Every structure is written in structure tokens, then in C-alpha cells.
Structure 1
């Protein structure tokens, strides 16, 4: 367990968030899931492997206009991103993609 997980769990417990309902999940488990999800998010400036990239052929389906010159839209790790067309480097992370679209 890393320091970030311990801090988040301590804060949640201190605020009483773990005891609002008998059905609330264990604060340590919640913190662990949150930390894992953050680690799986794409990182600007990196080049994801080809297996991680799902190119978007119809940007309008995602509320986007046409590709910006020199870049393409794609989904990487469940996030809508803009990639450099030549290098494949992540230029920007736009937003998470709703689960129904993945």
C-alpha cells in the first residue's frame, strides 16, 4: 500500500465517509481503486502502443469537429485524446469516454 492510498483512506475515515451506510465500501478499497484508475489514465507526451489506440473515424459521434491538421482523435485507456499524426504522441487528453462507447 503506498502513501497516497494511506492518506486518502485516513482522510475518508476521518470525515466519516466510510460509515455513512452499512453498505459503504471499505475506505481502503475505495482508495486503492481510485489510485489504480489514475495510473491507467493516458499521459500527455507519451506514445501509447498501437494496441492501446482506437482511432476515431467519425469524430461527430463524440461531439467533435474534424481532425485538427497534423493530429488525429483516438481513444486511449478509455479517454478521448488527440494524437500527433506523425509521431503518435498524445498532444491532449480531452475527456473520459462514457462506458457505453468503449
Structure 2
């Protein structure tokens, strides 16, 4: 086992502990929200880049704007999914929850 494997194992343990505390539904909808946010952002990315104030020949500027737009879309989607998942998790009666 090398250092990378150890880091992966530690990250999995941290993610499992966070998922246990947060709840499966909230965590799952958070990932779904991330995927939907990325999908919608990539779907509308060309139109959004047309609004950017960079000339077409400035590839570096357009790349940075594109990465920023993708990150914002992904974070917004994940946040919305987490919000919906948390509300759904709290709506389930405590007695009906596993563990």
C-alpha cells in the first residue's frame, strides 16, 4: 500500500462518516444535483461563452471563463440537490429511518 492508497482510504472513511451523519437521501440527491448542474451548464455553455467579453482568439480567457461557469453550475446544482435532500431527510419520521 502506497501513500496514494492511504489517502484514498482516508477520504473514503471521511466520506462515509459524512454520509452517515448527513443521511443517504441528502448525500445521494447532492450527487444527483451535481450531475444535473454539470449537465445543464455544459448544455448552455456555448451560449454563456458568447456573452463573455473576450474576443474569439483569446483561448486562455475563454477557457478560464468556461471553467468558472462549469464550477458555478456544478456547485449550484450540488447545493440545490443537498438542500432538497436535507429537506426530504428531515421529512422522514425518525422511527422510519434505518439505524
TM-score past 0.5 threshold: no
Provide the TM-score with structure 1 as the length reference: 0.31
Higher strand content, 1 or 2: 1
User: Larger RCO: Structure 1 or Structure 2 (Cα < 8 Å, ≥ 6 residues apart)?
Assistant: 2
Higher helix content, 1 or 2: 2
Provide the TM-score with structure 2 as the length reference: 0.31
